[in-house]
């Protein structure tokens, strides 16, 4: 049945409802387009839960329902609630319910219940809050995530992840937070792990990733050397050495440059000084000059 102006109804039991309807299309047995400018395609597909309470909606798929204003539903047995305006849903059995305005669900059996401006991606992905992006489900997890030029490229480019910048005069930018998964009760939260792939042998195989830096709830662990501004501060992981002012410390602690200690200094062993200036000021120290003629002294300190 086709009622109203500029309406089309094709299929047994298909209808565009009352004469107040305009520019509606219903295609498929039992399909209904109940709102102006709306489209229902598929057996039992429907647009609008009550007469004329929705406009500009599209419902495609057997038993699909697009009840929210300007909403789009594609997939059998999927539905968008009447209070979920401007929402988009793709996938079989997917549901956007409650007042989930402006939300998007992509994937079979995805679910957004009353949470606005959220996105659910992947089979059975479930959104639990507003302004939330959820990818994957415990039964259908997404375990690798690639952004940019796909998994591989002959000339991959760099990628920058940005928080929102300021707009206007003297407006600070937004913070970027990276977080591990939250634990419950006595369970610790998940670690943040940084990995890179070192160069390997000549060939086309992808090199393996190696963990370089791990942050957990107790420690921050580096698996490689730490370098700050070339030689300002260096930690040599393999040789257990720390350099300040030097990129290549030859001892456990190597300091190049002047030093100042505001407090007591304890030396539990021999103290070697290569250049002595005004030795008389070193009270309590015994100097033993060597025979090289270069003024080298060995000072024994007894505590």
The secondary structure of 188-243, three-state, reads CCCCEEEEEECCCCCCCCCCCEEEEEEECCCCEEECCCEEECCCCEEEECCCCEEE
- Would you give the DSSP letter of residue 176? -
Helices (H) then strands (E): counts for the chain? 0, 26
Compute CA 139 distance to the chain's CA centroid, rounded to the nearest angstrom. 20
Angle at 67 between CA 63 and CA 71, to 5 degrees: 100
The model carries a pTM of 0.71
Dihedrals phi, psi of 236, to nearest 5 degrees:
-90, 105
Full pLDDT tens readout for the chain, 303 residues: 545 566 777 777 777 765 555 657 888 888 888 777 788 888 888 887 554 455 778 889 998 988 888 899 999 999 998 888 899 999 999 999 998 999 999 999 999 999 999 999 999 999 999 999 999 999 999 999 999 999 999 999 999 999 999 999 999 999 999 999 999 999 999 999 999 999 999 999 999 999 988 999 888 888 888 888 888 888 888 889 999 998 888 888 888 888 888 988 888 887 776 665 544 455 444 444 444 444 444 444 433
Q: Are 77 and 64 in contact (CB under 8 A)?
A: yes
Structure tokens at 299: 């000072």
In the block, residue with structure tokens 């662990």: 221
Give the largest CA-CA distance in the chain: 115
Distance separating alpha carbons of residues 135 and 117, to the nearest angstrom: 15
């Amino acid at each position: 049945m086709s009622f109203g102006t500029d309406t089309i109804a094709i299929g047994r039991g298909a209808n565009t409802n009352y004469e107040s309807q305009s520019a509606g299309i219903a295609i498929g047995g039992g399909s209904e387009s109940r709102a102006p400018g709306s489209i229902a395609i598929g057996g039992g597909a429907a647009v609008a839960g009550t007469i004329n309470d929705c406009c500009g909606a599209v419902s495609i798929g057997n038993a699909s329902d697009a009840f929210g204003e300007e909403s789009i539903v594609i997939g059998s047995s999927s539905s968008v609630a009447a209070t979920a305006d401007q929402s988009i849903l793709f996938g079989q059995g997917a549901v956007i319910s409650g007042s989930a305005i402006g939300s998007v669900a992509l994937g079979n059996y995805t679910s957004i219940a009353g949470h606005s401006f959220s996105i659910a991606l992947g089979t059975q992905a479930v959104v639990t809050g507003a302004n939330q992006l959820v990818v994957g489900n415990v039964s259908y997890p997404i375990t690798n995530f690639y952004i940019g030029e796909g998994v591989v490229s002959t000339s991959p480019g760099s990628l920058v992840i940005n928080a929102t910048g300021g707009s206007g005069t003297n407006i600070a930018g937004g913070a970027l937070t990276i977080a591990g998964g939250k634990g419950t009760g006595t369970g610790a939260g998940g670690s943040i792990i940084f990995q890179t792939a070192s160069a390997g042998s000549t060939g086309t195989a992808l090199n393996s990733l190696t963990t370089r830096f791990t942050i957990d709830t107790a420690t921050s662990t580096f698996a490689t050397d730490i370098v700050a501004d070339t030689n300002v501060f260096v930690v040599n992981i393999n040789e257990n050495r720390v350099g300040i002012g030097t990129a290549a410390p030859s001892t456990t602690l190597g300091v190049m440059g002047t030093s100042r200690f505001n407090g007591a200094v304890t030396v539990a062993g021999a103290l070697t000084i290569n250049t002595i200036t005004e030795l008389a000021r070193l009270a309590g120290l015994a100097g033993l000059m060597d025979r090289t003629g270069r003024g080298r002294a060995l000072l024994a300190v007894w505590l």
